[in-house]
Amino acid sequence: MIRLRSFAPRVALAMAVVVLLTSLLGAGWGWLRAQAALRQQLDLVLAAEAEGLLRDYETFGLRGLSEVAEITSRRPGPLLVLLQAADGRPIAGRLPAAPTVLRGFATWRQGEGEVPLRALGAVLPGGANLIVAADLSSVDRAATALAWTPPVAGGVAALVALGLGFLLASRLERRLAGISGAARAVMAGDLARRLPESGRGDEFDRLAVTINAMLARIETLVAEVRQVTDDVAHDLRSPLSRLRQRLEAALARARDPAADEAALEGAIGELDGILATFAALLRIARAEAGAGREGFAPVDLSALVAAVAEAYAPVAEEAGRALEAEVAPGQVIEGSAPLLRQAVANLLDNSLAHGEGRIRVRLRPGAALEVEDEGPGIPAEERQRVVRRFYRLDRSRGTPGTGLGLSLVAAVAGLHGGALSLGEGPGGKGLRATLALTPGERPAILKPSS
Amino acid sequence: MRILLIEDDAATADYVAGGLGEEGHVVDVARNGKDGLFLALNEPFDVIVTDRMLPGPDGLAILRALRASSITTPVLLLTALGEVDRRVEGLEAGADDYLAKPFAFSELRARIRALARRPAAQAEERELAVGDLRLDLLRRAAERGGRRVELLPTEFRLLEYMMRHPGAVLTRTMLLEKVWDFSFDPTTNVVDVHVSRLRRKLEAAGEAPMIRTVRGAGYVLGPAAPPGGAAPR
């Protein structure tokens, strides 16, 4: 369940090791400091004892001192006293391995493996040498006892850290298992699955919210792609079946040059239509994928719109309609001129094919193009859908066109960071298509095939 | 004409070479970029037709190499469907024309003819003339047999393009590209409307037809017969 590969126990273990190591270092340092302090204390004790003995010597003379020394050294306790003659001959007391004459402090060992001794020596006016000593084992024992405190505390801290680490690990493991399980389900095809959120709003929840937003976006995109694929399959199947029937019928008929030629020409016409649909689909796909942005250059939108309107004006006239253009001068944007030209042309094609009455083309400063007509317009609930590939209103099924025109306009708008929105013309009549070509100009975002 | 075709797809190469051969052209076919570039650099051709995607140096690389060697032979670049927005890239590399696959053979034929007719270096021309039709490029005025013809700017551009290729079949796609810069086929018949308006202006009552419609292909400007006999230079 909890393996060392898991993050939290690894951290806990590392922390425990660090706590232990620092407490051991602390113990060493503490021992040294304690020992030094205690030895200093001991030196003071020795000095006080020596002073007392010297006072005895002043009061009672050498004989008195030797008696006191004898008594003191027999007394149980760490304190040892030796009174020796100037030549090292002991007079009173006892001290193993004492030097012949000691003046001031000294430390030595009584023998191999024995505890070290700390001693203070003084030479008396008669030449005799008084040495007061204490063995250091008690001092070292006290230092050791003091030094044990940090490692004991450290060990406890390390154990607590380990315990907390494992506890944290199991909770982490549980939450990660939830995330990982959800991710696996998504991978297995359940695109509607989302990561669990605890509701505590912690960093895991924030991560889950972000990933869930990403999953929602992926789900939408996949649904769109699926929709597009279905649309493509459906809308290419009908012309392809028509083509097949046509060719089959022609083949089954008796050979007749004129009829065969007509059949072949019809087939080529049908194929050209299919190829045009393909080309439009590829263009939309490329524009939606953002391809071609690297080729963006400054485009004189005013000139472009004016030129397209000029190309379409006679067409409108022939159809008994009027086309009026009102173009703000000097509108330049970064973009793809061929695609923008096609977007404008598609909007005009759309108005010519599905609209009625006067067509008004208006390029507003800030680069928004409006195309209005006085036809039946598009019902509000259909406006999102007509931008989808192949989607056509029931009443326009009979008119020529691929059903891809507005999809391309929307894709081109998106490529340029803008948006296509559809609304009502002036007075609630007809259709007004607004192609906003700068990001600031989006009234209501219409995405292709959404 | 001697035409170099650089195309790696055998079916397309045979189809194009066969069709152009039937038209009476001599066609050399190279099946990869290396051979194609070698031929293009070392043999004189009237027109070079090259695929954009090729093994070895691709169409654009060949084009750049040719232009870098100051070879100005007209080049027609063939490209895959849906890459029309790359047209500019091809034209900037020095291509004279651009055609997306799959194409109608009549379209290719018309474009090759138009390319071959293009003067190698366009001198400063002041006037174009086809038959009794004259176009003053400086004053931007047209007249036919002394009768002044009032033209709108678009009609002027259309007529200028047609008069630069008299007697050649100009397809709707070519006119859309060259006159309107449309690299797509609009649903509405923009070209037909403009051509018929221009025709009405050029052919007053009693005058001989100037623009002929070639069924399923496009339009030809020029005196009825023989086509191309009255080239303006």
Cα end-to-end span (Å), chain A: 45
pLDDT in tens, A53-111: 888 888 888 888 888 888 888 887 778 888 888 888 888 888 877 777 888 888 887 77
Give how far Cα A48 sits from Cα of A42, A94, A121, A242, Å.
10, 19, 12, 124
Question: Are residues A311 and B181, on separate chains, in Cβ contact within 8 Å?
Answer: no
Question: Are residues B82 and A265, on separate chains, in Cβ contact within 8 Å?
Answer: no
CATH code, domain carrying A104: 3.30.450.20
Question: Are residues B181 and A341, on separate chains, in Cβ contact within 8 Å?
Answer: yes
Q: Does A327 score more than 90 pLDDT?
A: yes
Question: Are residues B187 and A400, on separate chains, in Cβ contact within 8 Å?
Answer: yes
- DSSP letter, residue A440: G
**Distance between A240 CA and the closest CA of chain B, angstroms:** 17
C-alpha span between A274 and A21 (Å, rounded): 78
User: Helix, strand or coil for residue A394?
Assistant: helix
Residues B133, B106, single domain; the answer is no
* DSSP β-bridge partners for residue A82: A93, A131
C-alpha span between A320 and A358 (Å, rounded): 9
pLDDT in tens, A171-200: 888 888 888 888 899 889 888 888 888 888
Residues B132, B97, single domain; the answer is no
pLDDT in tens, A236-272: 888 888 899 989 989 998 888 999 999 988 898 888 8
Cα dihedral A24, A27, A28, A29 sign: positive
Looking only at the bridges linking them, the beta strands covering A116-123 and A104-109 are antiparallel
The A residues from 283 to 342 touching B (CB cutoff 8 Å) are 283, 286, 291-292, 295, 307-308, 310-312, 314-315, 318, 336-339, 341-342
- Supply the Cα-derived Rg of chain A in whole angstroms: 51
- Torsion angle in degrees (nearest 10) through CA of A376, A378, A379, A384: 180
Q: Within a domain: residue A186?
A: no
8 A C-beta contact, residue B101 and residue B80: yes
Angle, to 10 degrees, between the axis of helix A137-147 and the axis of helix A149-187?
20
Q: For testing the chain A interface, which of B173, B184, B196, B200 should be mutated: the one with the most A CBs within 10 Å?
A: B184
A275 touches chain B (CB under 8 A): yes
Q: Within a domain: residue A18?
A: yes
Say what the pLDDT of residue A304 is: 94
User: What is the number of CB-based contacts under 8 A between chain A and chain B?
Assistant: 81
Residues B191, B105, single domain; the answer is no
Residues A258, A368, single domain; the answer is no
Residues A268, A327, single domain; the answer is no
Q: Within a domain: residue A87?
A: yes
Residues A227, A125, single domain; the answer is no
8 A C-beta contact, residue B101 and residue B89: no
Q: Within a domain: residue A176?
A: no
Say what the pLDDT of residue A399 is: 67
Q: Within a domain: residue A1?
A: no
Average pLDDT value for chain A = 84
Query: Which residues does A161 contact at the CB level (< 8 Å), separation at least 6?
Result: A12, A15, A16, A19
Residues B106, B132, single domain; the answer is no
Q: Which of B82, B183, B189 sits opposite A282 (nearest CB)?
A: B82
Query: Which residues does A25 contact at the CB level (< 8 Å), separation at least 6?
Result: none
* DSSP β-bridge partners for residue A422: A433
C-alpha span between B233 and B220 (Å, rounded): 18
Say what the pLDDT of residue B45 is: 93
Confidence label for A344 from pLDDT (cuts 50, 70 and 90): very high
Residues B194, B138, single domain; the answer is yes
Residues A273, A371, single domain; the answer is no
Question: For residue B214, what is the enclosing H or E element?
Answer: strand B211-214
Q: Residue A174 is which amino acid? A: R
Q: Within a domain: residue B122?
A: no
C-alpha span between A417 and A445 (Å, rounded): 11
B102 contact residues in A (CB cutoff 8 A) = 275
C-alpha span between A123 and A67 (Å, rounded): 17
**Distance between B68 CA and the closest CA of chain A, angstroms:** 23
- Supply the Cα-derived Rg of chain B in whole angstroms: 18
Question: For residue B120, what is the enclosing H or E element?
Answer: none
Of B58, B84, B116, the residue that ends a domain is B116
* DSSP β-bridge partners for residue A359: A323
Residues B65, B158, single domain; the answer is no
Q: For testing the chain B interface, which of A268, A308, A336, A350 should be mutated: the one with the most B CBs within 10 Å?
A: A308
Which ipTM value was assigned to this complex?
A: 0.82
pLDDT in tens, A27-58: 889 888 888 898 898 899 989 988 988 888 88
Cα end-to-end span (Å), chain B: 19
A315 contact residues in B (CB cutoff 8 A) = 188-190, 193
- Joined together, the tokens standing for residue A182 give 């959800």
Residues B134, B166, single domain; the answer is yes
Q: Which of A311, A339, A400 sits opposite B85 (nearest CB)?
A: A339
Other CB atoms within 10 A of residue A271 CB: 14
- Joined together, the tokens standing for residue B225 give 């017969």
8 A C-beta contact, residue A100 and residue A121: no
Residues A28, A52, single domain; the answer is yes
C-alpha span between A184 and A316 (Å, rounded): 57
Q: What percent of chain A shows pLDDT beyond 70?
A: 94
Q: State which residue of chain A sits closest to B87, comparing Cα positions.
A: A338
Q: Within a domain: residue A167?
A: no
Residue with tokens 């007391």: A93
pLDDT in tens, A412-436: 998 898 889 898 887 778 899 999 9
A275 contact residues in B (CB cutoff 8 A) = 81, 102
Looking only at the bridges linking them, the beta strands covering B97-100 and B75-79 are parallel
8 A C-beta contact, residue A31 and residue A147: yes
Q: Within a domain: residue B228?
A: no
Residues A268, A313, single domain; the answer is no
Of B81, B116, B151, the residue that ends a domain is B116
- Where does residue A248 rank: exposed (0-12), middle (13-18), buried (19+ CB within 10 A)? exposed
Nearest CA among B64, B62, B69, B8 for reference residue B37: B62
Task: Say which range, A203-217, A294-308, B71-85, B170-184, has the weakest mean pLDDT.
Answer: B71-85
A345 contact residues in B (CB cutoff 8 A) = 182, 184, 186
Domain extent for B186? 127-221
**Distance between B153 CA and the closest CA of chain A, angstroms:** 9
φ, ψ of residue B225 to 5 degrees: the values are -150, 150
Q: Within a domain: residue B65?
A: yes
Of B86, B116, B146, the residue that ends a domain is B116
Nearest CA among A285, A370, A298 for reference residue A334: A298
B193 contact residues in A (CB cutoff 8 A) = 314-315, 318
Q: Within a domain: residue A390?
A: yes
Order of strands across the sheet that contains A116-123? A90-93, A79-84, A129-135, A116-123, A104-109
CATH code, domain carrying B92: 3.40.50.2300
Question: Are residues B85 and A307, on separate chains, in Cβ contact within 8 Å?
Answer: no
Looking only at the bridges linking them, the beta strands covering A359-364 and A323-327 are parallel
C-alpha span between A170 and A6 (Å, rounded): 9
Residues A276, A394, single domain; the answer is no
Q: DSSP for A115-163, please give it.
A: PEEEEEEEE-TTS-EEEEEEETHHHHHHHHHHHTHHHHHHHHHHHHHHH
A352 contact residues in B (CB cutoff 8 A) = 187-188
8 A C-beta contact, residue A272 and residue B172: no
Residues A357, A282, single domain; the answer is no
Q: State which residue of chain A sits closest to B81, comparing Cα positions.
A: A279
pLDDT in tens, A351-369: 998 888 899 999 998 889 9
Polymer length in residues for chain B: 233
Say what the pLDDT of residue A91 is: 84
Question: Are residues B85 and A310, on separate chains, in Cβ contact within 8 Å?
Answer: no
Q: Within a domain: residue B153?
A: yes
Number of domains within chain B: 2
DSSP3 helix / strand / coil % (chain B, rounded to 5) = 40, 20, 40
Number of domains within chain A: 3
Residues B136, B103, single domain; the answer is no
Residue with tokens 């649903």: B187
Q: State which residue of chain B sits closest to A403, comparing Cα positions.
A: B187
Q: Within a domain: residue B80?
A: yes
Q: Does A450 score more than 50 pLDDT?
A: no
Residues A90, A63, single domain; the answer is yes
Distance of CA A404 to the CA centre of its chain: 40
Query: Which residues does A40 contact at the CB level (< 8 Å), separation at least 6?
Result: none
Q: Within a domain: residue B160?
A: yes
8 A C-beta contact, residue A305 and residue A360: no
| pLDDT tens by residue, chain B, 233 residues | 899 999 999 998 999 999 999 989 999 999 999 999 999 999 999 999 999 988 889 899 999 999 999 988 999 999 876 565 677 778 888 889 888 888 888 889 999 988 886 554 556 678 888 888 999 988 889 999 888 999 988 899 999 999 988 888 999 989 998 899 888 888 888 999 999 999 999 988 788 888 999 887 889 998 755 444 444 33
Q: Within a domain: residue B168?
A: yes
Residues B43, B109, single domain; the answer is yes
Question: Are residues B104 and A268, on separate chains, in Cβ contact within 8 Å?
Answer: yes
Interface list for chain B against chain A, based on CB atoms closer than 8 Å: 81-85, 87-89, 100, 102, 104, 152-154, 180-190, 193-194, 197, 216
Q: Within a domain: residue B121?
A: no
Residues A387, A261, single domain; the answer is no
Of A286, A305, A326, the residue that ends a domain is A286
CATH code, domain carrying B194: 1.10.10.10
Residues B15, B112, single domain; the answer is yes
Question: Are residues A349 and B154, on separate chains, in Cβ contact within 8 Å?
Answer: no
Domain extent for A272? 203-286
Say what the pLDDT of residue B228 is: 43
Q: Which of A283, A338, A349 sits opposite B188 (nearest CB)?
A: A349
Q: Sort residue A379 into left (φ over 0), alpha (ψ -120 to 50) or beta.
A: beta
Residues A212, A337, single domain; the answer is no
- Torsion angle in degrees (nearest 10) through CA of A94, A97, A101, A107: -110
Q: State which residue of chain B sits closest to A308, comparing Cα positions.
A: B180
Other CB atoms within 10 A of residue A442 CB: 17
Q: Which of A286, A295, A345 sits opposite B88 (nearest CB)?
A: A295
C-alpha span between A83 and A363 (Å, rounded): 121
- Joined together, the tokens standing for residue A171 give 């909770």
Residues B111, B8, single domain; the answer is yes
Residues B164, B189, single domain; the answer is yes
- Joined together, the tokens standing for residue B81 give 């469907």
C-alpha span between A344 and A347 (Å, rounded): 5
Say what the pLDDT of residue B227 is: 44
Q: What is the pTM of this model?
A: 0.66
Q: Within a domain: residue A232?
A: yes
Of A286, A309, A331, the residue that ends a domain is A286
HSE at residue B157, side-chain half, CA atoms within 13 A, is 14
Say what the pLDDT of residue B225 is: 53
C-alpha span between A388 and A383 (Å, rounded): 10
Residues A250, A128, single domain; the answer is no
User: Helix, strand or coil for residue A328?
Assistant: coil
Q: State which residue of chain B sits closest to A268, comparing Cα positions.
A: B104
Of A286, A302, A329, the residue that ends a domain is A286
